[in-house]
Amino acid sequence: MHEAVKRALAEDIGSGDITSTLCIGAEVMAEGRFFARQPMVLAGSSLLAEVYAARGGVERLYVRATDGQLMQPGDEIAFVRGRARTLLECERVSLNFMQRLSGVATLARQFTDAVAGTGCRILDTRKTTPGLRELEKSAAAAGGATNHRMGLFDAVLIKNNHITAAGGIRAALDRCKDATVRVEIEVRTWAELEEALACGAKHLLIDNLTPAEAAVWVKHVAGRATTEISGGVTLATVRDYAQAGADFISVGAITHSAVAVDINFRLAWQ
């Protein structure tokens, strides 16, 4: 978080905020408020303290809402008082983080709400903005999604290219038999499904099936392994997939296609 904020401020402010320096006296004080301008699930509010601490000149910061909280238009997110120049030079970075991350949280909530009552859990993926994965996965969790692996280092996920390079399903699974982390394998055909089950696979990634096809596959697995559905899942279809009986549905769109929400910052001179 610290490095992400540092990079963002350096990118935006550079050698200095020319406009604020020319227009506003150095000691002019101001108050600012962040407001939601649409229904949304908040995320990224904890970054405000980091942003202002990096620039200094802030006397008070009150964050009125917490990540994961449902906000309505007009709801106040945070109040800040400090030097006007500081508030203005931090405005865009603060908004960019909260708008982007709240967009992720809001979309995650829409997917989790869509499968409510089915027993299926929504997973995020590694399809994140480079350098912002931890923040975006935190936002997905704030929206109710379950974090999948953080990276290539904390779980085994044998996908089609790994299977090809290893020489097949059995060869790939055999080479992972002593892994100390979860091992999951992708199956794309009925033959691969049967082979993976015969090899004792306990976590299956079922990719690019229709909801009806997925229901047949999950019924055939019959609890011998946990099942995760992936590939082309949308808000319109996610409940159908969940009702197919899968344990998990992974949705890359939560992070790669979330639309930033509308948050406003209003300044008042003191």
Strands 156-158 and 76-83, by their bridges, are: unpaired
Cβ–Cβ < 8 Å for 163, 144: no
- Report pLDDT for 1: 87
The structural domains of the chain, ordered by start, are: 2-107+259-269 (3.90.1170.20), 146-250 (3.20.20.70)
Residues 6+ apart with CB under 8 A from 46: 1, 63, 67
Residues of the chain with pLDDT under 50: none
Residue 266 gets the label, from left (phi > 0), alpha (psi -120 to 50) or beta, of beta
pLDDT digits (tens, 9 = 90+) for 100-155: 999 999 999 999 999 999 999 999 999 999 999 999 999 999 999 999 999 999 99
Residues with catalytic function: 92, 127, 159, 186, 207
- Report pLDDT for 268: 87
Query: What tokens appear for 161 in the block?
Result: 């290219």
For the whole model, what pTM was predicted? 0.95
Residue among 167, 215, 148, 217 at smallest CA distance from 188? 217
- Report pLDDT for 270: 60
Cβ–Cβ < 8 Å for 227, 247: yes
Cβ–Cβ < 8 Å for 51, 90: yes
Residue 4 gets the label, from left (phi > 0), alpha (psi -120 to 50) or beta, of alpha
